Amino acid sequence: MKDIYELLNDVDIDDKELEEMKVNDLERARVKKAVKASIHRKKRIWTKGIAAAVIVAGLSTAALGVAFPAYASNIPVIGNIFRFLDIGMGVYQDYKEYSSEINMSQESNGIKFTIKDAIFDGETVSLTYSIDSNRDLGANPIIHGFLDIKDSEGVGGSDKITKVSPNNYVGLLRGTGSHRKGKDTVEFSWNVEGITIQDSKEQIKGNWNFALALKATESKTQLISRQVEHTGVAVNIDKISFTPMSFIVYYDQEVSEKVRSKWGGVDVSLEIKDDLGNVYAGQGNGGSGDSEGYRMQWSTTFEKLDPKATKLMITPHLSLYEYTADNHGSVEITRDGTKEVAIPQKSGKGKEEYTLEDIVIDLKK
Amino acid sequence: MRSNENNYIQRLQRKKEDALEYIIDNYISLIKGTVVKVLSPLANDGIIEECINDIFLTIWNNAKKFSGEGEDFKKWIYAIAKFKAIDYYRKNRRKSDGLSSSDVDVLAERSAEDELIRREDQTELVHLINQLETVDRNIFIMKYFLGLKTEEIARKLGLTRASIDNRIYRGKKRLHSQAMNLNMEGHGL
Which of B21, B69, B126 lies nearest to residue A3, judging by beta carbons? B126
| CATH 1.10.10.10, applies to B108-188 | yes
pLDDT confidence bin for B188, thresholds 50/70/90: very low
Q: How high is the pLDDT of residue A249? A: 92
Q: How high is the pLDDT of residue B118? A: 56
Q: What is the Cα–Cα distance from A147 to A150, expressed in whole angstroms? A: 10
B28 contacts on A by Cβ (under 8 Å): 23, 27-28, 31
Q: Is the pLDDT of residue B20 over 60?
A: yes
First-to-last alpha carbon distance for chain A, in angstroms, is 34
A286 or B4: which leads in pLDDT = B4
CATH code of A77-215, in short, is: 2.60.40.1630
Task: Specify whether the backbone of B27 is left (phi greater than 0), alpha (psi in -120 to 50) or beta.
Answer: alpha
Q: Is the pLDDT of residue B1 over 90?
A: no
Q: Is the pLDDT of residue B187 over 70?
A: no
CATH code of B8-95, in short, is: 1.10.1740.10
Report in angstroms the alpha-carbon separations of A212 from A105, A117, A192, A215, A218.
12, 11, 14, 10, 19
- Give the mean model confidence (pLDDT) for residues B75-99: 81
CATH 2.60.40.1630-classified regions of chain A: 77-215
Q: How high is the pLDDT of residue A51? A: 30
Q: What is the Cα–Cα distance from A281 to A275, expressed in whole angstroms? A: 16
Which residues between 40 and 69 in chain B have a beta carbon less than 8 angstroms from any beta carbon of chain A? 49, 52-53, 56-58, 60, 62, 64-69
Which residues between 148 and 187 in chain B have a beta carbon less than 8 angstroms from any beta carbon of chain A? 156-157, 178, 182, 185-187
Q: How high is the pLDDT of residue A175? A: 84
Nearest CA in chain A to B158: A12
User: Mean pLDDT across chain B, nearest whole number?
Assistant: 80
Whole-model pTM? Answer: 0.47
Do B65 and A5 lie within an 8 Å CB cutoff? Answer: yes
Strands of the sheet containing A154-165, edge to edge, are: A100-108, A111-120, A124-133, A168-178, A154-165
Chain B CB within 8 Å of residue A31 CB = yes
- Give the mean model confidence (pLDDT) for residues B169-183: 70
Interval B145-173: pLDDT, tens? 888 888 989 988 889 999 999 988 888 78
**In contact, A307 and A275? CB cutoff 8 Å:** no
Q: How high is the pLDDT of residue A57? A: 30
Chain B CB within 8 Å of residue A331 CB = no
Q: Is the pLDDT of residue B81 over 50?
A: yes
B81 contacts on A by Cβ (under 8 Å): none
Domain ranges of chain B: 8-95, 108-188
Q: Is A14 exposed, middle or buried (0-12, 13-18, 19+ CB in 10 A)?
A: exposed
CATH 2.60.40.1640-classified regions of chain A: 220-362
Secondary structure (3-state) at B36: helix
Interval B88-144: pLDDT, tens? 888 887 665 444 444 344 444 444 445 545 555 566 677 778 888 888 888 988 888
Interior CA angle at B171 toward B133 and A303, to 5°? 55
Instruction: Name the DSSP class of B120.
Output: S
CATH code of A220-362, in short, is: 2.60.40.1640
CA dihedral B128, B129, B133, B135 (to 10 degrees): 160
B58 to chain A nearest CA, in Å?
A: 9
Q: How high is the pLDDT of residue A328? A: 63
Q: Is the pLDDT of residue B24 over 90?
A: yes
Which of B28, B134, B187 lies nearest to residue A31, judging by beta carbons? B28
Which of B52, B57, B156 lies nearest to residue A12, judging by beta carbons? B156
Which of B17, B36, B189 lies nearest to residue A78, judging by beta carbons? B189
Q: How high is the pLDDT of residue B157? A: 87
Which of B49, B68, B141 lies nearest to residue A7, judging by beta carbons? B141
Tens-binned pLDDT, residue by residue, of chain A (365 aa) = 788 899 899 888 888 888 899 988 878 888 888 888 888 754 433 333 333 233 233 233 333 322 322 332 233 334 566 666 655 455 676 777 777 777 788 888 999 998 888 888 888 888 888 898 998 898 888 888 878 888 777 677 777 788 777 788 888 888 887 766 667 888 888 889 899 988 888 889 998 988 888 888 888 889 999 999 988 899 999 999 898 888 989 998 888 888 888 887 788 889 999 999 888 888 877 777 766 667 788 888 898 898 899 999 999 998 888 877 666 655 555 556 556 666 667 777 778 888 999 999 999 87
**In contact, A308 and A276? CB cutoff 8 Å:** yes
Residue of A13, A223, A126 lying closest to B141 (CA atoms): A13
Q: What ipTM describes this predicted complex?
A: 0.83
Cα A305 to the center of its chain, rounded Å: 21
Q: How high is the pLDDT of residue B107? A: 43
CB neighbour list of residue B85: distance below 8 Å, 6 or more residues apart: B34, B35, B37, B38, B39, B51, B55
A5 contacts on B by Cβ (under 8 Å): 58, 62, 65-66, 80
